[in-house]
Structure formats: C-alpha cells, structure tokens
Chains A and B, each alone.
Chain A
Amino acid sequence: MNKNKEKLLAKRYSSEKRFQFLGKSAIFMALLFLAFFIFKIFSTGYTAFQKTWLIVPVNFDAETMYLDANPSKEDLEDADYFEISLQSMFNLDKNANEKQQNELKKMVSYFFEREIKQELINDPSLLGKTKDVYITASDDLDQVFKGNYPRDLPEKQRRVTDYQLKIFDQLVEQGKVESKFNLSFFTYPDSREAELAGIASSFMGSIFSILVCLAIAFPVAVLAAIYLEEFAPKNRFTDFIEVNINNLAAVPSIVFGLLGLGILLAVFQLPRSTPLVGGITLSLMTLPTIIIACRASLKAVPPSIREAALAMGASRMQTTMHHTVPLSMPGTLSGTIIGLAQALGETAPLILIGMVAFVNTIPGSPMDPAASLPVQIYIWAESAERGFVEKVSACIMVLLGFLIVMNLFAQIIRHKFEKKWS
C-alpha cells in the first residue's frame, strides 16, 4: 500500500517535470524561429539603409546650358542641364567610344540630371566653375559596392558590363565612391528604379488608411459594444448578433476586399486606389475585433460598481457613461490598437481595391492614390531587380517597427490605466 503510494507520487512528479520540459522546449522553438526570421530580415535588409554615390566632377558651363553670365532664378530652373550632365559622365573616360559612353551614362540613376541641377540652384555661384557632385549610382553598381552582386558571372548574365566595372573600380580606387545614409528611402515615393525607390508613398498611404479606419471603426464598434453589453435584452436575437460578430472576426480579409470592390468602388463610385476606400474596407475588418475587445472589458467591470451606481439613483445611461465605460476604456483602447495593428499589416483587401497600383507621388490626403506598406512589400517582392531584394527586407523592418510601437503603446495603456480590483 505504502509502496504503491510512493510510486504514484514519483509518477506525479515526473509527469510534472515532463510537462515543464515540453513547455520550455515549445518556447525555445518559438524563439528560435523568431530569431531566425529577424536575423534573416536584418541581414538582408540593413544594406538598404545605405546608398552608393559616385562623386563626379561637373563643369557648370554657362554656354552649354544656354545661360548668360547673371541668370535669374527662373533662368536657372529652365536651363538645359542634360548636356553638362552627360558630358560630366563621359569625362570619366575621355577615350570612350559611343557604346561605352552609353554604358557610362547608365552607371548613375536617371535622376542624375536633376541632382546636378539642384546643386547649381542651391549655389548659383558655381556657374562657370567645376565642382565634384554626389550622384546616385545605378542600383546595379549600388549592389556591386555593397557586395551583394556576384562579379564572377559571365558578362552576358550580368546587368553590369565589364567596362562599367572597370571604370567603377577606378573610381573606387580614387575614393570617388561613397556610401551614405539612404535618406531617399524614407522621402521618395515608389520608383521603377531600385536606387530611387522609397517608402514615402506607402508609409503615408498606411497612415491615412489607419486614420480612416480608426475614425470609422472606433465609434461604431464602441457604440455597438456598449449597447449590446449594457442595454440590449439578452434574447435569441442578440445571441444571433453576437454569434455573427464573432463570425465576422473570422472572415478572411480578402472577402472584405471583394466587398470594398463591389460596394465602395462599384456602387458608391469612390476613387480607386485611395486610402479612403482602403480605410473603410479595413474598418469593416477591424470592427468585430474592437467590438469583442470592448465587450470583454465591459464584462470585466465588476457588477458591484454598476449596482453601486444604480442604487445611488443613477439611470442606466448614467451608470454606463459615468462608471462602466470609463473603467472599460483601457481594455477597449488596447484592443483597438491591436485591431489597427492587424489592419496595418493587411494586404489582400487593399490589393483588391486597387492600392497595389504603381504610385510615384506622395499622397497629401486620403483621397489621393497611394499604396500601403504591406502592399509595397508585395510589389517589391515581385520585382526582378536585385536592388529590390534588400528594399523588401527594409520595408518589412519599417512595418515591424511600426507594429512594435503600436503594440507597445497598447501594453502601456493597459498597464498604466487599468484599475486593479482588490
């Protein structure tokens, strides 16, 4: 009898140990995957925050630009920079033949003319002088400089020619190639050229979408939740509504996209590809999340508080507005932020309502066409150029950073403002 008991006890202890071991290994596995994922993204993406510049001497020759000695501001704006820009690239190799000259031109981004123009507009005294100008290198050379480009491939399989590599190596030797922080990644809209592509358009698109989503989903969801939780009679009909709200939370997001396409675009004729439509579509998705969070935190308010208020002669409305709702707000807000974070990462519905279009302007309002961060990731991941690979990872980093900040905010609200019930 006693022996049996000891055996049983040993069994109970060992089963607890086994369970703890399994739990720990599960956590370890999860952390391992996460670490691998983050490492992969960072190791691919961190180079996107640097950009390669060629330092090229430019001769700001007034005659070539059809300018007189003392040009006005408008004259500078209207001047012809193409010739001097082209000439400064050709000057990198004075003996280049026509084909090679063409290759020389392709060593920098097609933006080079504008970069040179900006230089003169910033400092008109340069007219007639020669100055070293920073010019964005082409994305292929950018990748070569970052070491992401295999140089040992046969020339035909490369986008960089042997001649370009030769000139580039000469420039590197002379210290005429520099890597600097890639500000344009944050300030430029999308571009077909990897070296000029930035997230400004999609970032603003995401912000506008989220704001529209918040403005619609929050009031509707909170009112619905308060009514259902505090006022609605508990009967079959409200049970039915509750089941449907829970179902709505489980509907695949692409279905909401179709809804947006079919109703907002087709019936209401709202402008395509805009954060307005994106935000409305996302708000449909976020609605059930906020309703569920709000109802849960209303439920968590102890009934004794409601009774106390009612017994003081407060009406139901006063009880709800003075006591229950304020007490439930921390939970509601953190649920809202988590719902918005979900919406922020949503891609499928936005693709359906056309936010996947190539947008190379920065939206100034929710009515302007824009992409969004996750859709931008999708667009870049589809692009063939090597320069977009690091951009995809960098964009993921920005999106993750955004999400982490939002979730942190939700946590802070929850911890700081939630009342503790003794």
Chain B
Amino acid sequence: MIKISAKNVDVFYGKKQALFNINLEIEENQVTALIGPSGCGKSTFLRCLNRMNDVIDICKVQGEIVINDFNINDKGCDVVRLREKIGMVFQKPNPFPKTLYENISYGPTIHGMAQSKQEMDEIVEISLKKAALWEEVKDRLHEPGTGLSGGQQQRLCIARAISVQPEVILMDEPCSALDPIATAQIEELIDELKKEHTIIIVTHSMAQAARVSQNTGFFHLGELIEHGSTDKIFKNPENNKTQDYITGRFG
C-alpha cells in the first residue's frame, strides 16, 4: 500500500533550488531510508512531508505530496492537523525543558486526546513503553526530561512523537548524536514501531539504512537518483552514482 506519494516536488531556498523534481512513493508500515551525501536535500525532502519548511521564510515548496489521497501542499491543508498525523524526531534530542510527564502529555493535551488524568497517565505509560523507556524512567516521571542521557532523551522524543498516535513518523538522522549502544536501541525500536507506523528515516550511515529499512532512496545534489527495495539498492543498484556511493567511493 502506498502511504505517501510525492509528485514533481521542487524546493527553493530563495533563488537557490534545493530539490529537483522529486517523485517518490512510500509504502505503508515499512521503513523507508533516505540516504545521500551531506547537502543532497534528503532532510529538506523529509521536512516537506510535515511542512516544517513553512518555518523558513525564504523556503518555497512546489509540486504535490499526497498523503491519504490529500495533497498537503494544498491551500486548504491545516498544518496543525497534518503534524498531528505525521510526527517527527530530530537529529539532536530536543526534549522540552519540562518534566518527562509533561513532555509526553504535551501533544495529547493540545490535541484534546485525554478526557481525564487517568487517560493521560495511560497515554504517557503506553507511549513510554512503546519507546522502550518505561522501565528506566517510571520512577522519575516528574523529573526534568533534560536530565536523561542522550539516548534516553532521543527515546523520550520518540515517545513524545508517538503519544499522538501519528500515522507516519519522520526521523531526521535520529542516531547521529548517539553512541553505538543507544543507536542499537533506537534501531530495534524502529523495527518495532513500523508495525503501527510508517517510518521515513534520513541517515548518513549506510549500514543503518541496510539494517532498518525495507526501501531506500538515494539523493544526490537535490535529485532522487534511485529508489527501490533496500536489498536491490545495496546489492544491485542500477545507477553508477548509487554504486559509487554505497561502496564508499564518494560521500
């Protein structure tokens, strides 16, 4: 099943074009990895999917991005609703400087998802359990989230993202600030999460892409060079540039 399909997406930062005519389809309940060298536009593309580029004044997005038969670049699209459906995890863990509990309950609160304190407690617990953080933090839910280790903070951010039950989770190099053990935990988590969510992950590590994803797209200089199943991209790429990149000849 196709969850998201991008058609002829162009992105401009002022006069500079950052993405050229991207066409990409993303499968539901699978992990899609976006790889490519720095500055190739993979993060820019990811940020198009929940319209985070709106924040940047000079950024202009053209083309169609259809999610659930609805073009999110339409004027009628409500970004607040959209971001409720499409969660995001950032490169650097960015928990709110509030308690763990408040970090998780923030999304459900603003979207009115819990009718009572009890329901909220449940949401917090489930989200933390899904993010494999519950056992570590259940005794200190009311301590500041910034007091956790880097890996725990990132899992907290994942728990925060899934607290509003998004259909899609965007991950922008979620492990680049973490050590190998924390990275392994997150990767395991991603595998678990794909049962309920569609995941798109931007990563610099080809090994990570190979480990966690079912589909891979390779970006280079703002163009989508090749995409397909991860197996095929890594074992039998069609394009020479892809071949060169995954074998480490550049990037």
Contact = CB atoms under 8 A, between A and B. Distances in A.
Interface stretch (B25-33, B34-42, B89-97, B235-243): B89-97
Interface stretch (A158-166, A247-255, A306-314): A306-314
A315 B83 CA distance: 10
A312 B83 contact: yes
Interface string A234-269: 100000000000000000000000000000000000
A311 B146 contact: no
Interface in B127-147: 146
Nearest to B84: A313
Given A307-B52, A307-B90, A419-B97, 19 more contacts: A304-B94, A306-B55, A308-B94, A308-B96, A308-B160, A310-B55, A311-B50, A311-B52, A311-B83, A311-B88, A312-B83, A312-B106, A312-B107, A313-B84, A313-B110, A313-B164, A314-B80, A314-B106, A322-B110
Contacts of B52: 307, 310-311
A388 to B, nearest CB: 53
Contacts of B106: 309, 312, 314, 322
Contacts, number: 62
A309 B96 contact: yes
A68 B56 CA distance: 91
Majority secondary structure of chain A interface residues (helix, strand, loop or mixed): helix
Given A234-B57, A315-B80, A308 B110 contact: no
Nearest to A419: B97
Contacts of A311: 50, 52, 83, 87-88, 90, 161
A95 interface: no
B111 interface: yes
B81 interface: yes
Given A306-B55, A307-B52, A307-B55, A312 B90 contact: no
9 contacts: A305-B96, A307-B90, A307-B94, A308-B94, A312-B164, A313-B82, A313-B110, A314-B106, A327-B97
A2 interface: no
B107 A313 contact: yes
Interface of B: 50, 52, 55, 57, 80-84, 87-88, 90, 92, 94-97, 106-107, 110-111, 146, 157, 160-161, 164
A329 to B, nearest CB: 12
Given A306-B55, A322-B106, A313 B96 contact: no
Contacts of A419: 97, 146
Q: What are the 9 tightest A-B residue pairs by CB atom distance, in nearest-first order?
A: A304-B94, A311-B88, A313-B83, A313-B84, A312-B107, A308-B94, A419-B97, A313-B80, A315-B80
Identify the interface centre among B84, B96, B164: most chain A CB within 10 Å of its CB: B96
Contacts of A315: 80
A421 to B, nearest CB: 8
Contacts of B160: 308, 312
Contacts of B107: 312-313
A323 interface: yes
Nearest to B109: A322
A240 to B, nearest CB: 17
A422 B80 contact: no
A302 B96 CA distance: 11
A236 to B, nearest CB: 13
A318 interface: yes
Interface residues of A, number: 21
A322 B88 CA distance: 19
A227 to B, nearest CB: 16
Contacts of A306: 55
Nearest to B89: A311
Nearest to B88: A311
B96 A310 contact: no
A69 B95 CA distance: 84
Contacts of A422: 146
A337 B146 CA distance: 29
A219 interface: no
A10 B12 CA distance: 53
A309 B107 CA distance: 8
Given A234-B57, A313-B110, A327-B97, A308 B157 contact: yes
B113 to A, nearest CB: 11
Contact of B90 (A234, A308, A313, A327): A308
Contact of A314 (B88, B94, B97, B110): B110
Given A311-B88, A312-B83, A313-B84, A318 B110 contact: yes
Interface in A289-321: 302, 304-315, 318
Most buried by A among B55, B83, B90, B97: B97
A233 interface: yes
A381 to B, nearest CB: 50
Contacts of A318: 110
B81 to A, nearest CB: 7
Nearest to A312: B107
A312 B92 CA distance: 16
Interface centre among A306, A313, A314, A318 (most CB of B within 10 A): A313
A307 B51 CA distance: 11
Contacts of A307: 52, 55, 88, 90, 94
A310 B146 contact: no
A419 B97 CA distance: 8
B111 to A, nearest CB: 6
Contacts of B95: 308
